[in-house]
Amino acid sequence: MEKLIIEGGKSLNGEVRISGAKNAALPLICATLLTPGKHILRNVPDLRDTRTMLRLLENLGVRHARKDDVLTIDSSDLNGSEASYDLVKTMRASVLVLGPLVARLGKARVSLPGGCAIGARPINFHITGLELLGVKCHLEGGYVDAAIDGRMQGNVIYFDMPSVTGTENLLMAAVQAEGTTVLKNAAREPEVGNLVDMLNGMGARIEGKGTDRLTIEGVESLQPADCAIIPDRIEAGTYLIAIAATGGEGTVTHCNPSHLPALLEKLRATGLKIEETDSTVTVRQPNGNGQSGPLKGTDIKTLPYPGYPTDLQAQFMALMTLSSGVSVINETIFENRFMHVAELQRLGAEIQVDGHTAVVKGAAMDGLSGARVMATDLRASSSLVIAGLAASGRTEISRIYHLERGYENLVDKLTALGATVWKEQD
| Residue 214 and residue 185 in contact, taking contact as beta carbons nearer than 8 Å | no
Longest dimension (CA), the chain: 67
Closer to ligand EPU by CB, 23 or 181: give it: 23
102 near ligand EPU, rule: CB under 6 A:
no
Q: Tell which one of 406, 408, 414, 419 touches ligand EPU (CB under 6 A).
A: 406
Closer to ligand EPU by CB, 57 or 378: give it: 378
Closer to ligand EPU by CB, 121 or 254: give it: 121
* DSSP codes joined into one string, 189-218: -HHHHHHHHHHHHTT-EEE-TTSSEEEEE-
CB of 66 to ligand EPU, least distance (A): 20
Spacing of C-alpha 88 from chain mean position: 16
Residues 94, 53: Cα–Cα separation, whole Å: 7
389 near ligand EPU, rule: CB under 6 A:
no
CB of 232 to ligand EPU, least distance (A): 9
Neighbours of 39 (CB within 10 A): 26
Report the site for ligand EPU in 141-170 (rule: CB under 6 A): 161, 163-166
Q: What is the DSSP letter of 143?
A: E
Residues 21, 45: Cα–Cα separation, whole Å: 7
379 near ligand EPU, rule: CB under 6 A:
yes
Residues 173, 31: Cα–Cα separation, whole Å: 10
Closer to ligand EPU by CB, 275 or 335: give it: 335
378 near ligand EPU, rule: CB under 6 A:
yes
116, 137, 227, 255: which is the annotated catalytic residue?
Answer: 116
Residues 392, 371: Cα–Cα separation, whole Å: 10
123 near ligand EPU, rule: CB under 6 A:
yes
| Residue 423 and residue 407 in contact, taking contact as beta carbons nearer than 8 Å | no
126 near ligand EPU, rule: CB under 6 A:
yes
Q: Which stretch binds ligand EPU (CB under 6 A): 104-112, 123-131, 238-246, 257-265?
A: 123-131
Q: Which stretch binds ligand EPU (CB under 6 A): 114-122, 196-204, 341-349, 407-415?
A: 114-122
Close Cβ partners of 292 (under 8 Å, ≥ 6 residues apart): 11, 247, 248, 285
Which of 88, 102, 10, 81 lies closest to 53 in space, CA to CA?
A: 88
Handedness of CA 91, 177, 103, 45 (dihedral sign): negative
Q: Tell which one of 55, 63, 89, 121 touches ligand EPU (CB under 6 A).
A: 121
Known catalytic membership, residue 116: yes
Closer to ligand EPU by CB, 143 or 292: give it: 143
CB of 379 to ligand EPU, least distance (A): 5
Active site amino acids: 116
Residues that bind ligand EPU (CB under 6 A): 23, 26, 92-93, 119, 121-126, 161, 163-166, 187, 191, 310-311, 333-334, 378-379, 406
